[in-house]
């Protein structure tokens, strides 16, 4: 509370001085500098507890921002060349831009590039809109040399940074998390307006801007949750056009009156080029989005159709393969013969009970690997699948399917070898039943059921024999 009261007193004193000249003007600059120092200290305290690496880098630039600006009042009060003060203010604007770059959590680098392009559009539009009634008088007052360039560059560059930040706030942040950054943007707007006022010889309010910056950082509680940036979001699509419409109107009026200045023409050309660049970046973003969606679709399909433990296809993919082969026969092409081996591991529950589920999982993974290794000899369209628990299936396609006994023996030979788990060999045995369909109609569900019944016949015969 005492810090807030002290800041309020400084701000009140600064506002009371107003546009006074002489010693009072110097005192006003000193108070502006004091408020900037307070903003620096508040930013340093707010950024101290940030753990996220990217946010920490953003805060480095936030903290350096008021320090760079302090070069300006120090140079003015010390009677140094005006270019020293201008360099400090331009450096401050650059630090803010870097801070926004790292604060943005857009989907990728191209998304942040698009935000920077939006800032460039803001700069170009500010030149077009403000040339005759703000910027040209500022240049006339400062002169045509470097000081005149700085009189335009500082406020116009600040407009670009404000647009960049506004784009990030509107597209990435949810409503209730926008308060602090909007207060920060308000402070930047006041600083920009004061730069214009300074160039025109009017009263400034830099202290108000720094007070807003201090207040914004006082309420910082850590990085806010972000909305993942989508290039089709309405606010994102139409944001630059809210800047272009007034610039277009001003350009049209000046062109009709024959009063176009070269900076306006350059600004309008820059807007067109930046819009083309923005569209190109948006297309790149869309291509990347499509690629991410396709990759996600592949992952989801793999997860839906494959067993997560063994990596083998599941029941869905096995039935899809059988449906494809059935469609070949329906089309009159004959289709290859198929043989489906259905196997169930014998006494697998005992492995889990005696050695633990981790050992049981290791056995299932090894069985899956062995079954997959048999596929090259069972036809190009052969597939091995885990159906559930300790049940597997192997589909032989083509000439290999014509000998179901050989298919059964291949599966048994692959499976019935001990699996070594943590140095202990665990015996593996399986009951295997085979069903075939060499020609005619192929019904995937019926074939799978027939193989299942054949497996139970084998298991029953083994039990009776025992």
pLDDT for 291-326, tens place per residue?
888 998 999 888 888 999 999 999 999 999 999 988
* Helix 82-103 vs helix 109-130: crossing angle, to nearest 10: 140
* Helix 53-69 vs helix 71-78: crossing angle, to nearest 10: 10
For the four alpha carbons of 256, 259, 261 and 264, in that order, the dihedral sign comes to negative
- Residue 94: predicted pLDDT: 93
Q: Look at the chain and count its residues.
A: 466
Q: What is the mean pLDDT of the chain?
A: 86
Pairing of strands 424-426, 419-421: antiparallel
Decide: 53 and 5 in contact? Cβ < 8 Å. no
- Is it the case that residue 161 has pLDDT exceeding 60? yes
Band of the pLDDT at 22, cuts 50, 70, 90? low
Q: What is the DSSP string of 112-178?
A: HHHHHHHHHHHHHHHHHHHIIIIIHHHHHHH-SSHHHHHHHHHHHHHHHHHHHHHHHHHHHB-GGG-
Quote the strand ranges of 277-325, DSSP E. none
Tens digit of each residue's pLDDT (9 = 90 or more) over 389-427: 899 999 999 999 999 999 999 999 999 888 888 888 888
Tens digit of each residue's pLDDT (9 = 90 or more) over 27-51: 888 888 888 999 999 889 888 877 7
- Residue 15: predicted pLDDT: 67
- Residue 10: predicted pLDDT: 67
The number of C-alpha atoms within 13 Å of 35 and in the hemisphere containing its C-beta is 30
Decide: 164 and 119 in contact? Cβ < 8 Å. yes
Query: Which one of 3.40.50.620, 3.30.70.270, 3.40.30.10, 3.40.50.300 gives the CATH number of domain 315-465?
Result: 3.30.70.270
- Is it the case that residue 20 has pLDDT exceeding 60? no
- Residue 378: predicted pLDDT: 92
Mean pLDDT of 277-297: 86
Contacts 24+ apart (CB under 8 A), 73-81: 73/29, 73/30, 73/32, 73/33, 73/36, 74/33, 76/29, 77/26, 77/29, 77/30
For the four alpha carbons of 29, 31, 32 and 37, in that order, the dihedral sign comes to positive
* Domain residue ranges of the chain, discontinuous segments joined by +: 2-298, 315-465
Q: What percent of the chain has pLDDT over 90?
A: 37
> Is the overall model pTM greater than 0.85, yes or no?
no
Q: What is the DSSP letter of 398?
A: S
């Amino acid at each position: 509370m005492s810090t807030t009261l002290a800041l309020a007193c400084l701000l009140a004193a600064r506002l009371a001085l107003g546009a006074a000249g002489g010693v009072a003007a110097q005192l006003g600059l000193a108070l502006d500098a004091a408020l900037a120092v307070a903003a620096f200290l508040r930013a340093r305290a707010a950024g101290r507890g940030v753990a996220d690496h990217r946010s920490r880098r953003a805060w480095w630039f936030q903290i350096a921002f008021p320090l760079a600006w302090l070069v300006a009042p120090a140079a003015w009060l010390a009677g140094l060349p005006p270019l020293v003060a201008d360099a400090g203010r331009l450096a401050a604007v650059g630090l803010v831009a870097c801070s926004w770059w790292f604060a943005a959590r857009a989907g990728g680098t191209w998304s942040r590039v698009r935000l920077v392009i939006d800032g460039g559009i803001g700069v170009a539009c500010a030149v077009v809109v403000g040339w005759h009634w703000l910027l040209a008088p500022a240049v006339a007052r400062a002169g045509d040399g470097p000081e005149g360039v700085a009189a335009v560059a500082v406020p116009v560059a600040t407009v670009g940074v404000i647009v960049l930040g506004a784009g990030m706030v509107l597209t990435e942040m949810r409503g209730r998390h926008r308060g602090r950054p909007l207060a920060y943007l308000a402070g930047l707007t006041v600083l920009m307006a004061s730069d214009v006022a300074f160039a025109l010889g009017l009263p400034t309010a830099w202290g108000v801007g720094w007070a807003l910056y201090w207040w914004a950082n006082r309420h910082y509680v850590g990085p806010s949750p972000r909305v993942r940036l989508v290039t089709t979001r309405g606010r994102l699509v139409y944001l630059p056009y809210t800047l272009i419409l007034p610039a277009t109107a001003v350009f049209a009026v000046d062109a009709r009156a024959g009063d176009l200045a070269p900076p306006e023409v350059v600004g309008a050309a820059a807007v067109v080029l930046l819009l083309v660049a923005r569209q190109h970046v948006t297309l790149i973003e869309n291509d990347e989005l499509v690629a991410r969606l396709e990759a996600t679709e592949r992952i989801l399909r793999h997860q839906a159709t494959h067993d997560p433990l063994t990596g083998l296809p599941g029941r869905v993919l096995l039935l899809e393969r059988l449906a494809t082969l059935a469609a070949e026969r329906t089309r009159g092409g004959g289709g290859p013969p198929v043989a489906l081996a259905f196997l169930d591991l014998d006494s697998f529950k005992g492995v889990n009970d005696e050695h633990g589920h981790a050992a049981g999982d290791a056995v299932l993974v090894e069985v899956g690997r062995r079954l997959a290794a048999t596929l090259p000899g069972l036809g190009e369209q052969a597939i091995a699948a885990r159906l559930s628990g300790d049940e597997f299936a192997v589909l032989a396609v083509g000439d290999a399917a014509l000998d179901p006994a050989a298919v059964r023996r291949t599966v048994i030979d692959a499976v019935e070898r001990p699996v070594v788990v943590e140095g202990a060999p665990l015996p593996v045995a399986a009951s295997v039943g085979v069903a075939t369909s060499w020609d005619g109609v192929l019904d995937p569900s019926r074939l799978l059921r027939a193989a299942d019944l054949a497996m139970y016949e084998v298991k029953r015969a083994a039990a009776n024999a025992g």
